[in-house]
Structure 1
Amino acid sequence: MDDLINVAKKSRHVLTLVSGGLDSTYVLDALSSLDCEITALSVNVGEGKAYDDLRSITDHFGANLEVIDCQEEFTADAVLPAIRAQAKYMGIYPISSSLSRPILARTAVRLAKKLDCDVIIHTANQSENSLRRLNGAIQQLGFRGWYGTPYELSSISRKKKISELTAKGLERFYRREISGDANLWCHEFESGALDNPESFAVPKELFTWTAGSETHAACREITIGFQAGVPISLDGQSIPLKALIDRLNYDAGSFGIGRYCGLEHLEFGEKVLEVREAPAATLLMNAARHLETAVLDAEFLREKINLEQLWVREAIEGRWFGALREALDSFMLCVAKRVTGSVSYRLRPGIAEAYAIKADCPLYLTDRDAWEFTVAQQAGRQQIGTLIPVVERIVA
């Protein structure tokens, strides 16, 4: 924490991102002993945080708490582009913190400028890819003060942090064995009992949207409608995107749809295990892909698939506000303008089975026999048209 203390001592006003977790609380503890104003920023991206609990922590350390609701901004500026880009890590699972971190960074930079803060602190550590995502975004946004995390150059054990905070009256961290990150698009879990990919078990109580899915026996049909690449309706009823995501997370999640596990690389090549639930992301990206396939030329679609992982790479590597991702986003938006229609699913435990794909300007066939008959007729007319000049030359 020496680097944090040295920077904070020279600061008039420190802005620190807080989640209410162990790492951000430990930073508040370190800052509280210094002679500088402290603003703790919590950005609401739909994680379902207990803000009364968070306020009790910030009050404990004499910090000013600012809670800013960015759910609509996160939906429009991060989630919707992710749907257009089929944003899955290595094509395996929906990306999540790569989408929320740029929104957190942008909100922090805005507030820092408003409050004249000369330091922005976050609490990502060396084993979290959020470190370069937050640092990269803050840099790209042009913040002129100091920014970073005290955990980049310092390694403090979880046991030590818990012990010190408990001694100061905060005993709430003892039972938190697994770390997590949540937003309205995805719930993600890592570390602790999930450290070893060779043998791990996910406690059932971690899950929210997919909780209780093991006993779900019913079947349900749903239809998701798109207009120019934007999901706009559920079962024929117009619905804002955020509300649609909320509905699908619980409706599809109740069937156990949208659970994932997979390995993610760290900066120097090591891999860490992550487990997540993302029911709405699963269905919305699947429906978008069905409609893209229905309306796009095959070569066009193949090129889009190639560029999708480039879009994902720029996001996960902390270059969200870079020129390349901006250019790729423009391409994805151009493609999305053609994606209008609906996809219908039957939901059963663990399965989302598409049974109807309807596009406004489709390239698909609805009657293959009739199409083959028409093609044969056209081919026959072309052949006759070719033979007539030959016959005329022979007769002449």
Structure 2
Amino acid sequence: MSDIKKVVLAYSGGLDTSIILKWLQEEYDCEVVTFTADIGQGEEVEPARAKAEAMGVKSIYIDDLREEFARDYVYPMMRANAIYEGEYRLGTSIARPLIAKRLIEIANETGADAISHGATGKGNDQVRFELGAYALRPDIKIIAPWRMWDLNSREKLMSYAAQHNISVEKKADGKSQYSMDANLLHISYEGGILEDPWAEAESDMWRWTVSPEEAPDQAQYVELEFSQGDIVAINGRPKSPSAVMEWLNKVGGEHGIGRDDIVENRYVGMKSRGCYETPAGTIMLRAHRAIESLTLDREVAHLKDELMPKYASMIYNGYWWSPEREMMQTMIDASQRHVNGTVRVKLYKGNVSIAGRQSEKDSLFDERIATFEDDEGAYNQADAEGFIKLNALRLRIGAKR
């Protein structure tokens, strides 16, 4: 890659990417363009501009992508009820295709030869960034410093930062922070004490949620209005996708909702332990399944549930821009045409309970048929005998063998 003259770096201003910025300048003697995305991480992104300027960067992109992230990535994923390995709500995974897309757009705008990222050679993010980049620009060159340099520990990175006067956030005892990633959907924590699966996470690690023990003693009810599978209003007030998520994160966090402690299977083959806070996503997923239970045909709902693990794995493994994910998304979106109505959720001490669901035009729930009282001839119970005998026919034949 000796011909590289310009690189677009996915830059947060944190420890890893600040060091990578300096490393790229030294190793490649090239111009570095920085790209910082505001996808709702809850921290100011503008300080990254000052840090980049101090390191001689002239082309600095700082983009507010919160609405695009919520509307075009999180919401489509929520329509699928996607969850990886039964627990992980894909908070980091779903942000990567958007960042990859913007990296390629900036590379095209600035005439850059390559892009660079701070994902390690052990993790999933390197796969997600690079699969997305190649899908959008097949000839792009990619620099992944973690696969190239010898700064292979947090301690070495801290030492490098000190040698080059790069300021980084530290704990009071001088040790580096957990490795964290945050956006509108979640905040994740890895490293440190969490590398021991038996060790309980420190109580002061959590940033978005109170512990369920300290949550209010009074439950809070919230009404979520759905249109074609998407939440469009809260308590009767219309809200954009990003505003929905911001509001639910705040309220959910106040009630201790969305904490997860998971050991997951990374795409590269190893197991990894991480902790996650996903208040909005936890509420949204629970409510979406509730409105689908009322409005989706049984076989459509069951087919979606069968396909969901595959869809979730595509996102987890970095195949958002693949033709198979796009094909499946078309089917999922088509299933949401009648997913309209309102769900009332009850938030209480870390739990999300369904307190009610209704859909005036699209409900498939027929009280006349489902009732345990007199159905006035709406359902002939005698019909069940033939239904059962036909379904039992192969079982009876097999039992005689």
Structure 2 length as normaliser, TM-score?
0.88
1:120 paired to 2:121:
no
| 1:99 alignment partner, SS class | helix
What is residue 40 of structure 1 aligned with on the other side? 34
| 1:94 alignment partner, SS class | coil
1:14 paired to 2:7:
yes
Going from structure 1 to structure 2, the CA distance change for 1:76 and 1:138 (only over 3 Å counts) comes to same
| 2:75 alignment partner, SS class | helix
Q: Distance in 2 between the 1:213 and 1:104 partners?
A: 37
Q: Distance in 2 between the 1:202 and 1:337 partners?
A: 44
Alignment of structure 1 residues 82-97 onto 2, 5 Å: 82-97=77-92
Q: Distance in 1 between the 2:254 and 2:43 partners?
A: 21
What is residue 335 of structure 1 aligned with on the other side? 335
| 2:165 aligns with one of 169, 179, 182 | 169
| 2:105 aligns with one of 77, 102, 110 | 110
What is residue 59 of structure 1 aligned with on the other side? 53
CA contact (8 A) 1:261 1:276 kept: yes
TM superposition shift of 1:97? 1.6
What is residue 140 of structure 2 aligned with on the other side? 145
TM superposition shift of 1:263? 1.5
Q: Distance in 2 between the 1:67 and 1:298 partners?
A: 46
Q: Distance in 2 between the 1:159 and 1:377 partners?
A: 73
Q: Distance in 2 between the 1:138 and 1:371 partners?
A: 61
Bigger Rg, structure 1 or 2: 1
Q: Distance in 1 between the 2:320 and 2:350 partners?
A: 33
Q: Distance in 1 between the 2:108 and 2:296 partners?
A: 44
1:49 paired to 2:49:
no
Structure 1 length as normaliser, TM-score?
0.89
What is residue 386 of structure 2 aligned with on the other side? none
| 2:67 alignment partner, SS class | helix
Q: Which runs of 5+ in 1 are unaligned?
A: 1-6, 381-396
For residues 54-109 of structure 1, the C-alpha deviation after alignment (integer angstroms, 9 at most, x for no partner) is 22321232123210111111111111111101111112131112110000000010
Going from structure 1 to structure 2, the CA distance change for 1:148 and 1:211 (only over 3 Å counts) comes to farther
Going from structure 1 to structure 2, the CA distance change for 1:215 and 1:344 (only over 3 Å counts) comes to closer
Alignment of structure 1 residues 216-365 onto 2, 5 Å: 216-359=216-359, 360-365=361-366
For residues 152-172 of structure 1, the C-alpha deviation after alignment (integer angstroms, 9 at most, x for no partner) is 244522111111211222342
Q: Distance in 2 between the 1:238 and 1:84 partners?
A: 19
What is residue 374 of structure 1 aligned with on the other side? 377
Taking only aligned residues, the RMSD between alpha carbons, in angstroms, comes to 2.1
For residues 188-244 of structure 1, the C-alpha deviation after alignment (integer angstroms, 9 at most, x for no partner) is 111122111122323424322447971422221111010111111111222112111
CA contact (8 A) 1:210 1:256 kept: yes
CA contact (8 A) 1:124 1:152 kept: no
Aligned residues: 374
Q: Which stretch has the larger CA shift, 169-178 or 203-212?
A: 203-212
CA contact (8 A) 2:91 2:278 kept: no
Q: Distance in 2 between the 1:238 and 1:145 partners?
A: 41
Q: Which stretch has the larger CA shift, 195-204 or 364-373?
A: 364-373
